[in-house]
Structure 1
Amino acid sequence: MQTESLFENLTTANIITSIVDLLIVWYVLYLLLTVLKGTKAIQLIKGIIFILVGRALSNFFNLTTTTEIFDTVLEWGFLAIIVIFQPEFRRALEQLGRGSLFRSNSTNGAGEHDKLREAMIKAIRYMAKRRIGALIVFEKDTGLKEYSETGIPIDANITSELLINIFIPNTPLHDGAMIISGDKIDTAASYLPLSESNKIAKSLGTRHRAAVGISEVTDAFTVVVSEETGNISVTYSGKLFKEISLDELDDLFKKHWTMLPPAKEGGGFFARK
């Protein structure tokens, strides 16, 4: 009798309402992930998932103290998230107002990687020989959106001529960092956080300190061409490696500069942003 009563209550209107309700919830989650993708906040989501799994396991095995610790972290953690990631939430509302959440860009296949590396090596060789200072950041898993937004949007294909022209002294875009996202020049003249490490030699300038700084807070790979000596340096994992040869740089590009797979037709969350 209870089963029959249940089916009687499942009217067409109720079914449609439930489906719409689920679709709205999933769509809101989709928009949230779309906004956070390309920022450091996406790493935070992985941490939250870890805490939720840990809380469930500790509760399952009756680990009282551990469960209380997880509950405390969850209770106060969300308040801390709102404070720490206030810029991301503000940007989300701005993008929603502009309708920019639905935009996506295409990317070339991985077969172009060799040509792009050759163009990059050619430009860096030219700048190093003539002591043209340059700071180039390559985005990896941790998004650099909050830093690219401080610069001038370029969104251009990578060519050696364009790379050189951007860093020519006394031009509007030469000062600051160029950010490479996938196979595109994302922005130029972007501001990066400066490292406060005492291990950086006093003889090195702002470019090197900014390169180390971005490698301390993200997993980005950065190339620096010294304006004083023409030497090539790279940073990753919070470490600075000086006087890199072009052959060594090419090997590092193969390791750290990976082209993303082609965007799916129609874009979406898993399309290249």
Structure 2
Amino acid sequence: MSFADFPFLKYLANTVDILLVWYVIYKIIMVIRGTKAVQVLKGIFVILIVKLLSDYLHLQTLSWMMEQVILWGALAIIIIFQPELRRALEQLGRGKFFSRSGMQEEERQEYVIESIVKAVDYMAKRRIGALISLERETGMSDYIETGIPLDSKISSELLINIFIPNTPLHDGAVIIQRASIAAAACYLPLSESPFISKELGTRHRAALGISEVTDSITIVVSEETGAISLTKNGELHRDLKLDAFRELLSSAIIIPSTKQASSTMWGWKGKKK
């Protein structure tokens, strides 16, 4: 007895085989995403395309060169991808390979939260004014273009340094995309609500204004009092203690792990322009 005697089982086995291959490829892409390996893979595709074109056009010398590149390419790939391969094997040995994407997203969220909380705590104690906006589902490219592009990995030290008084980037808002500081010294729209307290300054009005036109989360550190505030969905949460601020920020950013596989950034399904 064999699969040939049961066509349905044969088709089922082939389907499972294809799905498993695609899943393994997907997990490999998740492992190398955001690393230098992505650029190397692009280079490999270019070489393969050049090889196919050279064979089709009968360019013998170029075809021979591409053959040599492909021949020795396997060894080069092992050397170049050594960190990624080692990390993948370590995760496979720990049983974490098949749960990496969810863990990676959760780790990124926690890292962003801790970086912001640490920076805000430092600036609040020293009454350093700050305005930080986190992009969510609604795109903020229009506001990013008004500032100075940075495209830098977020860190508490960089955030603090940006808002140090009398530095070129301190005046304006920092906009964060995922775990990167997209731009600094950005202009945000001021809220025109007549119900805003007169004691609130430009930073608070800008934080409320951007929360009225996008679903972003915006953090304000008062230069006069050092008070911490947070706006989202047109609501202002004022004078937050550090623990309350951390909890509010975490609840707005962190998503259930069951939703992470279908999200593209912090539970946001896409960007609305």
* Per-residue deviation, 1:257: 2.5
Q: Which amino acid aligns with 1:240?
A: L
SS at match of 2:165: coil
Of residues 192, 195, 213, the one that matches 2:191 is: 195
Asked whether 1:140 is paired with 2:136, we answer: yes
Aligned residues: 160
**Partner of residue 109, structure 2:** 113
Distance in 2 (alpha carbons) for counterparts of 1:187 and 1:137? 10
Give 1 or 2 for the bigger CA radius of gyration: 2
What TM-score do you get using the length of structure 1 for normalisation?
A: 0.55
More relative contact order in 1 or in 2 (CA 8 Å, sep 6+)? 1
Find runs of 4+ consecutive structure 1 residues off by over 4 angstroms.
258-264
Q: Deviations over 1:121-175 (max 9, x none)?
A: 1110000000000000011111101001100111111111101000000000000
Distance in 2 (alpha carbons) for counterparts of 1:261 and 1:230? 38
Q: Which amino acid aligns with 1:169?
A: P
Distance of aligned partners of 1:218 and 1:263 in 2 relative to their CA distance in 1, 3 Å threshold = closer
**Partner of residue 129, structure 1:** 125
1:164-243 alignment to 2 at 5 Å?
164-243=160-239
My pick for the range that moved more, 199-208 or 127-136, is 199-208
Of residues 234, 239, 257, the one that matches 2:253 is: 257
Counting aligned pairs with the same residue, the percent is 55
CA contact under 8 A between 1:128 and 1:230: conserved in structure 2? yes
Distance of aligned partners of 1:212 and 1:138 in 2 relative to their CA distance in 1, 3 Å threshold = same
CA contact under 8 A between 2:137 and 2:270: conserved in structure 1? no
Distance in 2 (alpha carbons) for counterparts of 1:181 and 1:258? 15
Distance in 1 (alpha carbons) for counterparts of 2:205 and 2:232? 12
SS at match of 1:222: strand
Distance of aligned partners of 1:214 and 1:137 in 2 relative to their CA distance in 1, 3 Å threshold = same
- Report the aligned-residue RMSD: 2.4
* Per-residue deviation, 1:115: 2.6
Asked whether 1:151 is paired with 2:151, we answer: no
Distance in 2 (alpha carbons) for counterparts of 1:190 and 1:261? 32
SS at match of 2:211: helix
Distance of aligned partners of 1:261 and 1:132 in 2 relative to their CA distance in 1, 3 Å threshold = farther
Distance in 2 (alpha carbons) for counterparts of 1:141 and 1:242? 24
SS at match of 1:223: strand
SS at match of 1:188: strand
Distance in 2 (alpha carbons) for counterparts of 1:149 and 1:140? 17
* Per-residue deviation, 1:255: 2.1
Distance in 2 (alpha carbons) for counterparts of 1:262 and 1:115? 21
Distance of aligned partners of 1:236 and 1:263 in 2 relative to their CA distance in 1, 3 Å threshold = closer
Q: Structure 2: 5+ residue runs without aligned partners?
A: 1-103
* Per-residue deviation, 1:185: 0.7
What TM-score do you get using the length of structure 2 for normalisation?
A: 0.55
Distance of aligned partners of 1:187 and 1:228 in 2 relative to their CA distance in 1, 3 Å threshold = same
* Per-residue deviation, 1:270: 7.5
Q: Which amino acid aligns with 2:209?
A: G
